[in-house]
Amino acid sequence: MSEVRVWVNGRLTGPDEPSISALDHGVTVGDGAFETAKVDRGRVFAATRHARRLDRTLAGLGLPPADHDYIAEGAKAVLAAGAEIEFGRLRYSVTGGAGPLGSDRDDSPLTYIVTAGSQPRPPASASVAVAPWTRNERSAVAGLKTTSYAENVVALAYAKERGAIEAVFANTRGELCECTGSNVFVVVDGAILTPPLDSGCLAGITREVTIEWCREDGMDVREQALPLDVLREADEVFITSSTKDVLAIHGVDDRSLEPGPVTARAAAVFARLGAERLDP
């Protein structure tokens, strides 16, 4: 595991050093929001969009807006705490702070955690596995990026056991939804299709930017409800996330696919415009 730099509530701390309350609601009940942004050659991509989504998640949880100046202070501290991060992630979390052992909250101040670390760049392509569990599109936290990630941990372990990089969920209606930490796209008859937000998927930042930039480049991109079985029939499949960008999929369970020209074009558009537009 690569070195992770950690800043908690105003100070840099060691990754193994105690730094938050044992009663923090982010620990006891997963009451918090987080964002993961790509760091490429020391620069953070799409910082403004990530900040806005953090506040949408906090509002959905019933927590107050974040202090973004405070988060920026933490981000500056962890990015400057060592050598430039060639490629990796900046992750910041905001929790409900110390609270009761149950789900009730008190008036404790929010907890702020900012971390950064390097990681390998994504592969040229990868495979995914369909999870045997579903996303609940009617959940109180559907579409929110909360710290309650246990079902993603279980599903990702399921995928890794099968040699896959990600697990794909259907929702309770049997529609294609999302992966544990990525959004999913398919290519059918030359058109790029992806589940709409009312499927219960996260409003991924890379998803959003990919849709905008591919449309800007003249590609046919549609958000529409899709049956899970589209993964068996699509001409191409790709996923998007902050640290995967546009990643071609060469296998879905036991189905092999060839990464195709539409995915290659989408990836090239994202790479080109991403190099030009740091905070789109």
85/195 same-domain check: no
What domain range includes position 113? 5-118
Q: Are 20 and 11 in contact (CB under 8 A)?
A: no
Claim to verify: residue 66 and residue 107 sit in the same structural domain: yes
Phi/psi at 61 (5° precision): -85, -10
Cα gap 134→180, rounded to integer Å: 11
111, 138: one domain: no
Q: First vs last Cα of the chain: how many Å apart?
A: 31
Which one of 100, 118, 136 terminates a domain? 118
Q: In the prediction, which pLDDT does 1 show?
A: 47
Residue 164 maps to which CATH number? 3.20.10.10
Domain boundary among 59, 90, 118: 118
Q: Please check whether residues 248 and 131 belong to one and the same domain.
A: yes
Strand partners, 187: 192, 236
pTM: 0.95
**Count of alpha carbons within 13 Å of 136, Cβ hemisphere only?**
5
Are residues 135 and 88 located together in one domain of the fold?
no
Same domain, 145 and 103: no
- Looking at the fold, whether 202 and 150 belong to one and the same domain comes out as yes
Domain boundary among 118, 133, 151: 118
180-238 pLDDT tens trace: 999 999 999 999 999 999 999 999 999 999 999 999 999 999 999 999 999 999 999 99
Is residue 122 within 8 A of residue 150, CB to CB? The reply is no
Total domain count, the chain: 2
Torsions phi, psi of 50, nearest 5?
Answer: -65, -40
Residues 251 and 143 in one domain: yes
Compute CA 78 distance to the chain's CA centroid, rounded to the nearest angstrom: 20
Tens-digit pLDDT profile for residues 228-275: 999 999 999 999 999 999 999 999 999 999 999 999 999 999 999 999
Which residues have CB under 8 Å from 48's CB, separation 6+? 279
Say if residue 114 is in the same domain as residue 136: no
